[in-house]
Chain A
Amino acid sequence: MTLAMLPYLLAFLLLVVGLYAVVAKRNVIKIIVGLAILDYAVNLLLVLVGYRPSPSGSPMAPILTGGVAHEPALVAGAVDPLPQALVLTSIVIGLSVTALVVGLAIRLYEKYGTFDTERMRNLRG
């Protein structure tokens, strides 16, 4: 457990805040907000794992600029492209999940007139 693990720990804290909202809140909108926060935290954690500083100091995106002659420097110094590719998929899936959940929330509000899960009496069972 070194100082270099601190960003992972903070990403986990963000994840816990989202999880807390999903588990402990009564309002449907708060649960959706918690789901979105959970999503961001997991995406950030995955990208954090693939980070490395380039030899010049600043991070180098895995995009080749300035011709093929620069390829060896890119291979030696660019950040990991694989988590980025997978997280790119994950972000868009998170959007569609949020849209679906918002649709359900709208429908619940139409039926029960409230966002409060405790007051949706007929939802039991």
Chain B
Amino acid sequence: MDPVFILMVALFVFMIIGSLIAVETRDLLSSVICLGAVGFGTSVAFLLLGAPDLAITQVVVEILVLVVLVRVVITRRDETAATGRGTLATGSVLLVMGVLVAVVFWMLASSGAGGLQVRPFGDPLMNHEGPASAMAPADQPQLAAGQAAEPQSIGGAYLKHGLLGTAVSHGTGAANYVMGIVLDSRGYDTLGEATVIFTAIIGTYAVLRRIGRQSHAGHVADR
């Protein structure tokens, strides 16, 4: 069996236990630190799955989240312990979410009509690519004639055309395919990402700014 499979299952068990502790512990600082454990577990998982860029980004993001959350929690000890909602409410929430996940996962795993036909772990669509004639419409055989075998998945196409390009495409010339996609082939995604970050910065500033707070507080006190 693929050792990555075994390591991934072990990592997932570690992360699920960590997240359960993070959710259920009463001490908020312990909760935040357990979240850090889950985040670094995610980073190791990315490394195992052949995604070093994601592993590096995840480490940086996780450290930033930890710093921000610890800074919030450590100065604001909420002595009123955060008990959950009632047992009945929690139980019904868990039941509904269990049913939801069962249905979604059944849709993912079933390969018949109505299923989403996700390939098993370690065997993506890229491994099942045939000649271009299989993809051409039946009434237009000239599309398939004279063409080399083309990938049937988008990922396979990015791998094939990404670096050098072919007779029908231009490559990005980037040795790192992921960066080639992020910054070249799908540059508008990165533009949207920058927009989201900028909006979040503006929103955080608007929520936390000091100017204008005084007059508002005075207005509330007058009422």
Residues on A close to B: CB < 8 A? 1-2, 4-21, 23-27, 29-30, 32-34, 36-37, 40, 43-44, 47-53, 57-65, 68, 71, 74-75, 78-89, 91-100, 102-107, 109, 114-116, 119
Query: What distance in Å separates the Cβ of A31 from its nearest Cβ neighbour in chain B?
Result: 10
Supposing A40-B42, A52-B122 touch, asked if A103 and B189 sit within 8 A by C-beta, the answer is no
Query: What distance in Å separates the Cβ of A32 from its nearest Cβ neighbour in chain B?
Result: 7
Residues from chain B with Cβ under 8 Å of A21 in the complex: 22-23
A86 to B84, CA, bound (A): 35
A35 to B9, CA, bound (A): 22
Contact A109 B39 (CB under 8 A): no
Partner of B65, one of A23, A75, A98: A98
Contact B9 A6 (CB under 8 A): yes
Partner of A109, one of B76, B121, B175: B76
Query: What distance in Å separates the Cβ of B222 from its nearest Cβ neighbour in chain A?
Result: 16
Residues on B close to A: CB < 8 A? 2, 4-5, 8-9, 12-13, 15-16, 19-20, 22-23, 28, 31-32, 35, 38-39, 42, 45-46, 48-54, 57-58, 61, 64-65, 68-69, 72-73, 76, 78, 80, 82-85, 89-90, 93-94, 97-98, 101, 104-105, 108-109, 118-124, 126-127, 153-156, 158-160, 162-164, 175-178, 180-182, 186, 189-190, 192-193, 196-197, 200-201, 203-204, 207-208
Pairs A-B, 6 closest by C-beta atoms: A4-B120, A80-B155, A27-B82, A59-B50, A96-B200, A10-B12
4 additional A-B pairs beyond A25-B23, A26-B83, A37-B22, beta carbons within 8 Å, are A51-B49, A62-B159, A93-B196, A106-B208
